[in-house]
Amino acid sequence: MQNYLPSQTCMKKLVLFSLVIIVGFTACSRKGVRLQRSHRFSQILKSKDIDYKFKMAEQFYVNKKYNFAQQLFEDLFPYVKGTDRYEDMYYKLAYCYYYQKDYLNAENYFKTFTETFPSSVKSEECEYMRAYTFYKQSPKPELDQTNTNKAIGLMQAFINMHPGSPKVNEANHIIDLCREKLETKDYLNAQLYYNLGYYKAAAITFSGVLGNYPDSKNGDLYKYQAVLSYFKYAEMSYPDKQLERYEKVKADCSEFMDRFQGSKYTNEIQKIKTETNNLIKNIQNEQAKKTAQR
């Protein structure tokens, strides 16, 4: 008898077709569910029953449907303001924005909460959260660090105002993280000057990083790169300026040796110092010859 079983190619096509049908049906089902939810929420939003809307807003908040909860809380504002519900609703509205990662609005609501309800037991928490939203808005080191500086300032203010708060350790940790980011930004700026060949600017900026962050674990790196930058600056200087600038490099090398004993950059600094000493001797010899010829 002839074998009427489908070929392997036909079976693959059949399976693929079935998968397409299943995926399409699932997508349609999900879309239908979303439309149903949207229609249901629209009905809740249009309702004139304040207690019902407040109850649904609370349910959405508990179920982490923060977008829906936010819209209902805001719609209820005119009716709830001045009542016993107002403080708790304002508090939850701030968190609705926070959990949706809308940190700009969250910061505003946390700030306004502390101003509107200064004696609230939640006021201290909202002060911390306001500072924390600036930390959450802090960008990568290469970008503008305005929000990072604001986070540091507000976290420090929080610590000063609430020294006994259980959040103090976290606030100090956030400040440390922000300062590390600012340090990284300053270092990247110095490195950019160096890469562009602006060696004097690089030397000043590397030295500035070290001065601003004297306890940094990278202090020896900053000092080494400042020395290297100034060495290259001296190297490129006019002859009548070189001796003075090489003398500074020599002094900076000695300072490095005293301050960063055991650093992994010690050998490199020693090489720079040796080369600098040789260059200083050569310049002094040339100057002596010129003087003798006069």
- CATH number for 198-294: choose from 3.30.70.1150, 3.10.20.30, 3.40.50.12160, 1.25.40.10: 1.25.40.10
Sequential DSSP letters for the chain: ----PPPHHHHHHHHHHHHHHHHHHHHHHHHHHHHHHHHHHHHHHH---HHHHHHHHHHHHHTT-HHHHHHHHHHHHHHHTTSTTHHHHHHHHHHHHHHTT-HHHHHHHHHHHHHH-TTSTTHHHHHHHHHHHHHHT---TTS--HHHHHHHHHHHHHHHH-TT-TTHHHHHHHHHHHHHHHHHHHHHHHHHHHHHT-HHHHHHHHHHHHHH-TT-TTHHHHHHHHHHHHHHHHHTS-HHHHHHHHHHHHHHHHHHHHHSTT-TTHHHHHHHHHHHHHHHHHHHHHHHHHHHH-
User: CA-to-CA distance for 221 and 62, rounded, in angstroms?
Assistant: 51
pLDDT higher than 70, residue 12: no
For residues 127-152, average pLDDT: 98
Q: pLDDT tens-digit profile of 154-175?
A: 999 999 999 999 999 999 999 9
Residue type, 182: L
pLDDT at residue 24, rounded to an integer: 53
Q: What is the pLDDT of residue 40?
A: 87
Summarised one tens digit per residue, pLDDT across range 88-126 is: 999 999 999 999 999 999 999 999 999 999 999 999 999
Q: What is the pLDDT of residue 1?
A: 44
Residue 290: band (very low, low, confident or very high) from pLDDT cuts 50, 70, 90: confident
Min mean pLDDT across 10-19, 180-189, 220-229 is at: 10-19
pLDDT digits (tens, 9 = 90+) for 32-51: 445 456 668 889 988 989 99
Taking the C-alpha atoms of residue 102 and residue 74, their distance in angstroms, rounded to an integer, is 15
Model confidence at 10, pLDDT cuts 50, 70, 90, reads: low
Model pTM score: 0.81
pLDDT of residue 221: 98
Which of the four pLDDT bands, split at 50, 70 and 90, describes residue 11? low
